[in-house]
Chain A
Amino acid sequence: MTSSASHPPLTIAHVEQDTIATFRRPGWLYWLALLACLGLTVAGGWVWALLVTRGLGVTGMNSPVMWGAFITSFVFFIGISHSGTLVSAILYFTRSPLRASIGRSAEAMTVIAILTAGLYPLIHLGRSWLFFWLLPYPNQRGLWPNFHSPLVWDIFAVCSYVTVSALFLYMGMIPDLALLSRRVKGWRRPLFRFLSLGFSGSDGEWAIFERAYPIFAAVAIPLAVSVHSVVSWDFAMTLIPGWHSTIFAPYFVAGAIFSGLAMAILLLAFLRRGYRLHKYIRLDHFDMMAKLLLAMSLVMWLVYATEFVQAMLRGSPAERDVFIWRTTGRYALLYWLVILCNCIIPLLTFSRRVRRSLPWLVFISIAVTVGMWFERFMFVVTSLAHHYDPFAWGAYVPSLPEALLCLAGFGWFGLLFLIFIKVFPSISVAETMQGLHAHGHDTASEGEPALEAQHA
C-alpha cells in the first residue's frame, strides 16, 4: 500500500493536474482490462447473432423454466445500477466526504449498468428487433400494452431511471467539463466545451446549480428505490411459490445496494490502482464502504432468514416445499454458495485490518458479486422448476451460448466503464476543490495523506 511519505500535501492546483493526468496514455493494466472486456463483448455479439439466426432454442430455457440466465443478468445489473445514483444522492444530502471521490464513478456505474441490464430483456425476446411492440403507441396491429402488467411498469421504471441517472451524472460533470475544457488538449477540448453548455462559474450559475442539484438528488432517491421494487414485482405479482411475497421489494432493494457496493469497491480499487488516485480514493473511503457492505450483508442475513421463516410458518405447502428444495435439492449447492458469498465471507470486514486491505476487499467484493448473481439465478430458476404441479417440475442448466452472453454482459459493462474513465473526469474536480477549501488544508490520516473533500 501507499505510504504517506510518497505523496506531497494536496492542494487545489493538484486536483486539476491529477484529473488531467488521467487522460494521458494509459498503462498496461488499462489496456489489458480493455482487451479482455472487448474480447468478451465481441464474443457476446457473435453469440447474440447466433441466437437471432437460430432462435431461443440454442438456450437451455424450457417449459417450465422459461426465465433463465438472461433474466438473472437483467435483475443482477439492475441491482448493480441501484447503488450508484442512490448512494451518490444520499452522500450529497449527508454532506459526506466520500462523495467527491467516489460519486462520479458510482453514478457512471449506474448508467452503464442500466445500459447493460436493458440488453438482456431484448436478448430474451428472441426477436429483439420487435422490442417496440412493448411501447404504447397507436398501431394497426390492434396491440396495446396492458398497464396492469409489471412488465410494462418495468419499461417505464427502467426508462425513467436511466434518463434521470444519466442527467444526474451529466449535471454533476458540467462544472468540471467547463473548467477542464480550458486546460485539456486535442479532441477533448471541443467535446468538453460543447458538453459544458457554456457554464462559466458565475455566481448566478452556481446559485442555480446548487438549487437544481438537490432537487435532482431528491428525485433520484425515490426513483432508484422504485425501479428495483418494480423489478421485484415482475416476480412477486405472479402466484408462483417462492416469488409471491410482500418481502420481495425490500429484499430486492437491499440486495441491489449490497451488490452495487461490491461492484463500486471493485471499480474504485481498479481506478485507484490504474490511475494512481491514492490521494483521492483513500483507504478511509474503502473502510467506510466496507462498513456499508458489512451492514448490507447483515441485512441480507435478515432478509434470507425472514423469507425462510415466513415460508415455513405462514407459507402454503408448495412454498414450504420450494424453500426446502432450494436448500436440499438439485440447486442446493448454489444456495449454499450464495449463503457463503453473501453472508459468511463479508463478515471478514468486521476486522479493521481487512477493511483497510485492498486485496482482501477485492476478494470479498468478487465473492459478493458472484454470490449476488447466483442468488438471482437461484430464485429465478428454482421457483419455476419446482412449483405447484409435481408433474410439471423441471430443471434448467444454461447452455454455453447463454453462459457466454452472461459473461459478455460483464465485458460490455467493463468496456463502457473503461471508456468513460478515459474520456471524462473520474473524480469531481469542483467538489474536491470546494472540500479542500472548506478544510483549509489536507489533513493526514493513518497510512495515507487525506483529502477532506467535504461537500460544503
Chain B
Amino acid sequence: MPEYLIAEYDNPDSAREALRQLEALDLPGVRVASPAAYPAVHATGSPGPWRWLAWLALSGALLGLVTAIVLEVGSSLAHPVQVGGKPVVAWIPYGVIMFELTMLGAGATSFMSLVVLTALSRRGVPRVARRAVASDRIVVIVPATKQQSEQTRAVNEALAGALSVTETP
C-alpha cells in the first residue's frame, strides 16, 4: 500500500477542481504544493500554525519595547550624562528609540517565526512532492493510507485530470 498519491497538474484551476472533489470525499490530510499562492493553496484550509504569527509578532514588538526601555532608562540612571538640568530620563526623546526597537522587534520576530513555522508546516509534505513543484507544476498530495477502500475509486476519479499520478512507497 503506497503512503501517498502525488498528482501533478499544469494548471492551478485543474488542481483546484481536484481539491474541490477531494474535499467532498472528506479525506483527511490532503495537501497541495505550488510555485505561487494560487487560490488552490487555500482550498485545503491552509493547515499549519499560521494563527500564531500575529501573536508572535506582537510578542517581538513588546520585547523590543522592553529592551528600549531597559537600555534607555536603565543605562541613563546607571551612567547619567550632563543634560543641563533637564530630566535625565525624558520620555518624549526616549520615545523615538522605543518606537524604532518596537518595530525592529516586530519585524525580526515575524521573520524568525516565518522561518520556523514554514519548516514545521512542510513536515507533512513528502520530499518527492516538494521536488516536483515547478513553474508549470502544481502538486496535490493525497494520503493513501487513510483512504477507505470505497474511497479509492472516487479519489482516482478526482485525480483523473492530472498530468501524472505517482505513488510513493
Contact = CB atoms under 8 A, between A and B. Distances in A.
Nearest to A223: B103
Contact of A13 (B42, B108, B135): B135
Contacts of B135: 12-13, 15-16, 179, 183, 429, 433
Contacts of A156: 96-97, 100-101
B75 interface: yes
Contacts of A314: none
A179 B35 contact: yes
A378 interface: no
A26 interface: no
Contact of A215 (B48, B54, B121): B54
A78 interface: no
B107 A219 contact: yes
A206 B37 contact: yes
Given A202-B130, A208-B121, A164 B107 contact: yes
A160 B50 contact: no
Interface string B1-25: 0000000000010000000000000
Contact of A207 (B39, B41, B101): B41
Interface residues of A, number: 58
A134 to B, nearest CB: 13
Contact of A202 (B31, B93, B111, B136): B31
B122 A202 contact: yes
Interface residues of B, number: 61
Contacts of B93: 147-148, 153
Contacts of B114: 171, 208-209, 212
Contacts of B131: 182
Contacts of A206: 34, 37, 41-42, 46
A163 B38 contact: no
A212 B48 contact: no
A391 to B, nearest CB: 25
A203 B141 CA distance: 11
Interface string B88-104: 00100110110111011
B110 A216 contact: yes
B133 interface: yes
B94 A203 contact: no
B155 interface: no
Which residue of A168, A202, A219 has the most chain B CB atoms within 10 A of its CB atom? A202
A139 to B, nearest CB: 10
Contact of B72 (A147, A163, A198, A429): A147
Contacts of A164: 103-104, 107-108
Contact of A197 (B38, B57, B115): B115
A153 B133 contact: no
Contact of B107 (A167, A183, A201, A204): A167
Interface of A: 12-13, 15-16, 136, 142, 144, 146-148, 152-153, 156-157, 159-160, 163-164, 167-168, 170-171, 175, 179, 182-183, 197-212, 215-216, 219-220, 222-223, 226, 230, 233, 429-431, 433-434, 437, 456
15 contacts: A136-B75, A144-B75, A163-B108, A168-B107, A170-B111, A200-B33, A204-B31, A205-B48, A207-B41, A208-B53, A211-B50, A211-B53, A220-B107, A222-B103, A223-B103
